[in-house]
Amino acid sequence: MKMTLGGFIVLVMVAITAGCSSKGDTKDGDVAIEDRGAEGADGAVASGAADGSDFSSYSLNDPNSPLSRRVIYFEYDSAEITDADQELLTQHAGFLVANPGQHITLEGNTDERGSREYNIALGDRRALSVQRILELNGVAPDQITIVSYGEEKPAAEGGSEAAWRLNRRVELVY
Amino acid sequence: MTRLARLLIFVSSVFIAVPAQAALTIEITQGIEGAVPIAVVPFGWGGQTAAPENIAAIISADLNRSGRFEPLADRDLVSHPTSADQVKFQNWRMLNVDNLVIGKLVESSPGQYSVSFELFDVFRGKRMTGSTFPAPARDLRRVAHHISDVIYETLTGERGAFNTRIAYVTSSGSTKNKTYTLLVADSDGYSPQTILTSKHPLMSPSWSPDARQVAYVSFENKVSEIYIQDVATGSRRKLAAFKGINGAPTWSPDGRKLALTLSRDGNPEIYVMDINGGALKRITNSAAIDTEPVWTPDGRSIIFTSDRGGSAQIYKVSASGGAAQRLTFDGKYNAGADVSPDGRKIAMVHGEGGRYRIAVMELDSGLLRVLTDGRQDESPSFSPNGSMIIYATGAGNREVLSAVSVDGRFKQRLTLQAGNVREPVWSPFDK
């Protein structure tokens, strides 16, 4: 990634603003928000205000919840996050803010090309990109742990571009 | 997070010192024209049962693997002398061999052996060197490698590196259920010993300068941590477990410090840690990735990878910190350097046109030469005499080890029967 930190923050801010203004449409349209009460996973208790802006009403166990999407993919040698993934991370952030006891581990990964320890550093940079977006959206630093596995834990085996694309990722592990 | 645990620890997901498994096999994939012909005659053996080791075969394979010699096949040997008085030089001259090795293996007492050898210059008809070594059965391979070292040094003037070892990492199993092992084997692939097994990644082994300990990175606690382990006893201790990356450990030439990569202050930087006291000194300070430190043999500088210039390149910095100097300018990607034992060259992963190959650069001239022709070659490591570089390469869908001579003319492949093999590091000479 060759972006400066300043440029990065501006981009993230723009994305957050964009995310906020479109929040109502996306959510009310795509996702059924329901109050799952005490059945929310892992101690995540919904507060009941199901007006579309309360992320605490998402459930970690609901396959239809945006929170079920927990992998962010990257371009080669890049830690840039797409607009769509920034939107998704805003939703994860909302859930974490609403559930301050909830912890998340960000696992950074790379494809197999190049040197192994350099790839550890690249995976770390990707996880840091995700961490920054979560923190800019209000998640407390002590809710987040980062680990980079570099190329050591591929999601897909093999030396094809298809496999590499699946391996350049950050996994959000609740 | 643990600051610095100095206890020996044994975690249930990690097993130490499991008995040996399948050996590596070595296949020469590109020979050298002009390798020197040599005859190594099967050693004399007067025992009633088969000899405990085929000493001549071990020597012959060593010399062949060096790329400098071409041993005669057994079937082409005209006679089988085992002492100097039985050697008829005329016969060997007709076979066009420059040198002849003969020897004897004797059981001096039960389980105790004596190995003697002699090396001859066939054209001058003269004995060049010879010696006798006592050894128990378990040391016979070592004695054979030592004889190879003596022959190699006598004939080339360069120290032999046959009596050394390699450490490497393997992984096997499915994507969701992998097993990672750290092994140490003789440099000819024999006697592999598993020194650590884990369900979580193991990486970046590095030898101590006395070849007795290995430092490595383990994710056994689901974060990266650096350990150092005694190879013979298996005892180990955790040296670094800071927040973030704990990676890329390499031993200083005096054995007292480790260079390593930590991201505890935000992004990956090079540090030097005092192994006994644990004191840390930060060496680099940039907003970019700084990692993969290796020491120059004089211990005064550290060579590392950084993308501070926009892409991964190799840099050099004083081991006490300060401004870094960029070393590589050729190619888009240069990373994972190793320094030659004489300090005059670096080997690295050189990425260009979507291919990652091993290149060597002369530090004085800046001249860079690509030595290999794979698509994903990585982890180059110099032999302690500087003549060969061992590295990992993708072969089909597998990772295997290969070795190439520093001039790129001689290549060999080392294959383990199953699993992926990577991150080979050649041990220093025994001290």
Cα–Cα distance for residue pair B377/B140, rounded to 1 Å = 34
From the list B260, B245, B383, B267, the residue with the least C-alpha distance to B319 is B260
Q: H or E stretch including A8?
A: helix A5-21
Cα–Cα distance for residue pair B187/B193, rounded to 1 Å = 12
- Judge if B168 and B151 occupy the same domain: no
Q: H or E stretch including A95?
A: helix A83-98
Name residues whose C-beta falls within 8 Å of residue A84's C-beta, 6 or more positions apart in sequence.
none
What CATH number is attached to the domain comprising A78?
A: 3.30.1330.60
- Judge if B294 and B416 occupy the same domain: yes
From the list B122, B121, B104, the residue with the least C-alpha distance to B113 is B104
From the list B36, B8, B28, the residue with the least C-alpha distance to B236 is B8
- Judge if B141 and B221 occupy the same domain: no
Count of domains for chain A: 1
* Residues spanned by the domain of B298: 14-23+164-426
Does a structural domain hold residue B7? no
**Between A59 and B231, residue with greater pLDDT:** B231
* B264-270 mean pLDDT: 94
Does a structural domain hold residue B65? yes
* A104-124 mean pLDDT: 96
Confidence of residue B396 (pLDDT cuts 50, 70, 90): low
Express each pLDDT in B12-49 by its tens digit: 455 554 444 446 677 777 776 779 999 999 999 988 89
From the list B231, A20, B383, B293, the residue with the least C-alpha distance to B282 is B293
State residue A97's pLDDT score.
96
Does a structural domain hold residue B274? yes
Mean of the per-residue pLDDT values for chain A?
A: 77
| Helices A116-136 and A83-98: angle between axes, nearest 10 degrees | 60
Size of interface A-B (CB pairs under 8 A): 97
Express each pLDDT in A80-108 by its tens digit: 999 999 999 999 999 999 999 999 999 99
Do the Cβ atoms of B203 and A152 come within 8 Å? yes
- Judge if B222 and B342 occupy the same domain: yes
Strand B325-326 and strand B333-339: the pairing is unpaired
- Judge if B279 and B363 occupy the same domain: yes
Residues of chain B that touch chain A, judged by Cβ-Cβ distance less than 8 Å: 175, 178, 201, 203-204, 219, 222-224, 244-245, 247-248, 261, 263, 267-268, 287, 289, 291-292, 305, 310-312, 333, 335-336, 349, 351, 356, 375-376, 378-379, 394, 397, 422-423
* B413-424 mean pLDDT: 82
- Judge if B194 and B131 occupy the same domain: no
What CATH number is attached to the domain comprising B89?
A: 3.40.50.10070
- Judge if B150 and B173 occupy the same domain: no
Does a structural domain hold residue B351? yes
Strand A144-150 and strand A104-109: the pairing is parallel
- Judge if B204 and B233 occupy the same domain: yes
- Judge if B244 and B373 occupy the same domain: yes
Chain A residues in contact with B267 by the CB 8 A cut-off are 124-125, 128
* Residues spanned by the domain of A31: 5-173
- Judge if B240 and B350 occupy the same domain: yes
Does a structural domain hold residue B54? yes
Count of domains for chain B: 2
Chain A residues in contact with B261 by the CB 8 A cut-off are 117, 120-121
- Judge if B182 and B150 occupy the same domain: no
- How many CB atoms are located within 10 Å of the residue B42 CB? 18
Cα–Cα distance for residue pair B312/B163, rounded to 1 Å = 35
What CATH number is attached to the domain comprising B343?
A: 2.120.10.30
Handedness of CA B321, B325, B329, B332 (dihedral sign): positive
Nearest CA in chain A to B394: A159
Express each pLDDT in A123-153 by its tens digit: 999 999 999 999 999 999 999 999 999 999 9
Confidence of residue B176 (pLDDT cuts 50, 70, 90): confident
Express each pLDDT in B40-61 by its tens digit: 999 999 888 999 999 999 999 9
- Judge if B138 and B266 occupy the same domain: no
Nearest CA in chain A to B392: A115
CA end-to-end span of chain A: 26
Å between B240 CA and nearest CA of chain A: 15
Cα–Cα distance for residue pair A128/B245, rounded to 1 Å = 12
Do the Cβ atoms of B305 and A115 come within 8 Å? yes
Q: Which of B125, B156, B187 is the last residue of a domain?
A: B156
Chain B contact for A147, CB < 8 A? yes
From the list A35, A52, A31, the residue with the least C-alpha distance to A44 is A35
Do the Cβ atoms of A117 and B219 come within 8 Å? no
